[in-house]
Structure 1
Amino acid sequence: MMKFPLDAVSRARVLVVGDVMLDRYWFGEVERISPEAPVPVVRVARREDRLGGAANVARNIVALGGQATLLGVVGTDEAGQKVAQLAAEAGIGTKLVDDASLHTTTKMRVLGRQQQLLRIDFEQGPAPQSLERVQAEMSALLRDHDVLVLSDYAKGVLGQVEGLIAAARQAGLPVLVDPKGHLYRRYRGASLVTPNRAEMQEAVGRWQTEDELTERAQALRGELQLEALLVTRSEQGMTLFTQAGRAHVDALAHEVFDVSGAGDTVLATLAVTRAAGLSWEDAMRWANRAGGIVVGKLGTSVVTAGELA
């Protein structure tokens, strides 16, 4: 495999727009069962906050050596301030829209002996005026970037995604989308869409054979006017569909410890390698390698250019 194109990646300017989250981890020891209910008592020994969702995509882009600007919506709360602080510490440029009507999307995980015991989610959709501000901010930022990444976690920030794709296309920027749900018509005109296996099944139904998958994937790609459709398939690797046909890479044989955030790493790697001038197929190979590394780490994590090399 070719050398990771670090020089070209370092010049890549990626604009990430989508659902920004805070991933909060509470680590502790479990030594007894509660006398109040049959549940474990976790004595918290350590707390850790990490960027999640679209913010984790941006964090991965910077870790790989690229330049990232993050645009999303946060609440005027402690979690929103923490997102801004962590992004600044990671070297991410931010244009965070403050929305006083919502709580910043937060996923709080409680772990005992490295095993997740409980996850608590705090989430609300943004106000319509916040979405208008996202559209206006994005339009102003497009000219300073090479690639647009849309990270959709169905939390509402990409509620008007059609307008964002249209603006990027008008500006001549490739658009990479990590989708959610089954209404893929919303993403028409993007350059690349990266559903995982379950999301692809939701969009086109279950397939029995590889030929059936190819037929349905190419039909979807044509309907959405995409350059490429990449299906990430966990232990089955990744399959890329383009005008040239089908390309596949097997999963790299790493121990899978935690898949949370793996899609963010894959999307970030595709964005920086594509901005660096690589073909879709070569970009997929690097993304597959990065995904294989990150699933061996606990929680939402990053892969660095050094690890890829």
Structure 2
Amino acid sequence: MTTINLPQHAPRLLIAGDVMLDRYWFGEVNRISPEAPVPVVRVERREERLGGAANVARNAVALGAEVGLLGVVGQDEAGDALQRLLDALRIGSCLNRDPSISTIVKLRVIGRQQQLLRVDFEEPPTDLVLRDKLTQYNAMLPDYDLIVLSDYAKGSLVNVAQMVEAARALGKPVLVDPKGDDFSRYKGASILTPNKSELRQAVGGWKDEAQLTRKAQALRAELGLEALLLTRSEEGMSLYTAGDVLHFPTLAREVFDVSGAGDTVIATLAVMLGAGMPLAHAVETANRAGGIVVGKLGTATVTREELAG
């Protein structure tokens, strides 16, 4: 594995999207329930971590970036917990509080280091709060070097087309982690980072590498992207630009948990590009980060020391 020389400049990133709270309940499993054929978990430890767009912010801060985070949460205990976690990491956050919804929470129950169950709590934000969020976003744009839009299809990025347009009008690069079957709303972004299932949902399937390349390049051209970065799990990553296609083999030594791996990839890519690293080198670094983080339990981060090793 080659040594990567990381840039020392700390870029300023504005991250907007679906903010979540990841909760983990860890316990022992020693018996099966008499009520149903399911394991009984005796909870011994609980953890809370930043999830969704907040996990992108957490990863970017771990790599030395200055981060502003924009999202919507409920006026509730989970929203308070998110704010405490952000404050502890000194992430500059503008969390719009929507009293009519609950904060998005993903609760994972872990027994013997294996995820046994995930319970999701989520509601889409209201139009009024989304309008306020868009106004805040436009006001914050001039202060940042690069924009990351983290779309988990939970409702916080319904105005994503306007957000991309506003950023590009100011000459700001825009990286998007997309969702859904219609990528047209991301038109004009700099780079999209779909995984295989997300790309398949948008362009349909492919029978071989040549057809995949044709479909990826057609989508990139149609949306006016500078690049499309396809994350391919055990197959690594593929970078499609107007002049080339580059493949990066996976660097994962073992895959323990893929939770939040896409967050790590786009955060690393954004930090490296924001600090002036060339695109191919930034993707190589993001690929290494993804390979490291899947060897950790749950939504995790990668340090500069791990990347440079």
User: Are the equivalent residues in 2 in contact too, given 1:51–1:86 (CA < 8 A)?
Assistant: yes
Task: State the partner residue of 2:266.
Answer: 267
Local SS of the residue matching 2:44: strand
What letter matches 2:26 in structure 1?
Answer: F
Task: State the partner residue of 1:20.
Answer: 19
Task: State the partner residue of 1:300.
Answer: 299
Question: What is the CA–CA distance in structure 2 between the aligned matches of 1:91 and 1:303, rounded to whole Å?
Answer: 17
Query: How many equivalent pairs are there?
Result: 307
Once the two structures are superposed, what CA deviation does each residue of 1:33-77 show, in whole Å capped at 9, x if it has no partner? 222222221110000000000000000000011111110000000
Question: What is the CA–CA distance in structure 1 between the aligned matches of 2:249 and 2:213, rounded to whole Å?
Answer: 16
User: Are the equivalent residues in 2 in contact too, given 1:6–1:305 (CA < 8 A)?
Assistant: no
Task: State the partner residue of 2:28.
Answer: 29
Task: State the partner residue of 1:231.
Answer: 230
Residue 142 of structure 1 pairs with residue 141 of structure 2: yes
Task: State the partner residue of 1:7.
Answer: 8
Task: State the partner residue of 2:126.
Answer: 127
Task: State the partner residue of 1:246.
Answer: 245
Superposed displacement of residue 5, structure 1: 2.5
Task: State the partner residue of 1:91.
Answer: 90
Question: What is the CA–CA distance in structure 1 between the aligned matches of 2:4 and 2:199, rounded to whole Å?
Answer: 31
Question: What is the CA–CA distance in structure 2 between the aligned matches of 1:82 and 1:121, rounded to whole Å?
Answer: 16
Task: State the partner residue of 2:61.
Answer: 62
Task: State the partner residue of 1:80.
Answer: 79
Local SS of the residue matching 1:268: helix
Question: What is the CA–CA distance in structure 2 between the aligned matches of 1:158 and 1:95, rounded to whole Å?
Answer: 15
Task: State the partner residue of 1:210.
Answer: 209
Local SS of the residue matching 2:48: strand
Structure 1: which 5+ residue stretches go unaligned? Answer: none
Superposed displacement of residue 26, structure 1: 0.1
Question: What is the CA–CA distance in structure 2 between the aligned matches of 1:35 and 1:5, rounded to whole Å?
Answer: 55
Structure 2: which 5+ residue stretches go unaligned? Answer: none
Question: What is the CA–CA distance in structure 2 between the aligned matches of 1:70 and 1:253, rounded to whole Å?
Answer: 29
User: Are the equivalent residues in 2 in contact too, given 1:23–1:51 (CA < 8 A)?
Assistant: yes
> What root-mean-square deviation, in Å, do the aligned CA atoms of Structure 1 and Structure 2 show?
1.0
Local SS of the residue matching 1:7: coil
Superposed displacement of residue 281, structure 1: 1.1
Question: What is the CA–CA distance in structure 2 between the aligned matches of 1:299 and 1:190, rounded to whole Å?
Answer: 29
User: Are the equivalent residues in 1 in contact too, given 2:272–2:282 (CA < 8 A)?
Assistant: yes
Once the two structures are superposed, what CA deviation does each residue of 1:9-40 show, in whole Å capped at 9, x if it has no partner? x2x00000000000000000011222222222
Question: What is the CA–CA distance in structure 2 between the aligned matches of 1:222 and 1:163, rounded to whole Å?
Answer: 20
Task: State the partner residue of 1:289.
Answer: 288
TM-score, with normalisation over the residues of structure 1? 0.97
TM-score, with normalisation over the residues of structure 2? 0.97
Superposed displacement of residue 2, structure 1: 5.9
What letter matches 1:52 in structure 2?
Answer: G
Local SS of the residue matching 1:252: coil
* Segment of structure 1 superposing worse, 258-267 or 241-250: 241-250
Question: What is the CA–CA distance in structure 2 between the aligned matches of 1:21 and 1:229, rounded to whole Å?
Answer: 26
Question: What is the CA–CA distance in structure 2 between the aligned matches of 1:193 and 1:73, rounded to whole Å?
Answer: 23
User: Are the equivalent residues in 1 in contact too, given 2:22–2:49 (CA < 8 A)?
Assistant: yes
Superposed displacement of residue 143, structure 1: 0.8
* Segment of structure 1 superposing worse, 240-249 or 34-43: 34-43
Once the two structures are superposed, what CA deviation does each residue of 1:204-248 show, in whole Å capped at 9, x if it has no partner? 111122111111111100100000000000000100011112111
Local SS of the residue matching 1:169: helix
Question: What is the CA–CA distance in structure 1 between the aligned matches of 2:62 and 2:280, rounded to whole Å?
Answer: 22
What letter matches 1:289 in structure 2?
Answer: R
What letter matches 1:188 in structure 2?
Answer: K
Task: State the partner residue of 1:158.
Answer: 157
Question: What is the CA–CA distance in structure 2 between the aligned matches of 1:184 and 1:212, rounded to whole Å?
Answer: 19
* Segment of structure 1 superposing worse, 290-299 or 129-138: 129-138
Superposed displacement of residue 201, structure 1: 1.0
Local SS of the residue matching 1:211: helix
Local SS of the residue matching 1:55: helix
Q: Sequence identity of aligned pairs in percent?
A: 60
User: Are the equivalent residues in 1 in contact too, given 2:7–2:277 (CA < 8 A)?
Assistant: no
Once the two structures are superposed, what CA deviation does each residue of 1:60-99 show, in whole Å capped at 9, x if it has no partner? 0000111111100000001000111001111211010000
User: Are the equivalent residues in 1 in contact too, given 2:252–2:290 (CA < 8 A)?
Assistant: no
User: Are the equivalent residues in 2 in contact too, given 1:17–1:72 (CA < 8 A)?
Assistant: yes
What letter matches 1:155 in structure 2?
Answer: K
Local SS of the residue matching 1:186: helix
What letter matches 2:245 in structure 1?
Answer: R
Question: What is the CA–CA distance in structure 1 between the aligned matches of 2:40 and 2:79, rounded to whole Å?
Answer: 29
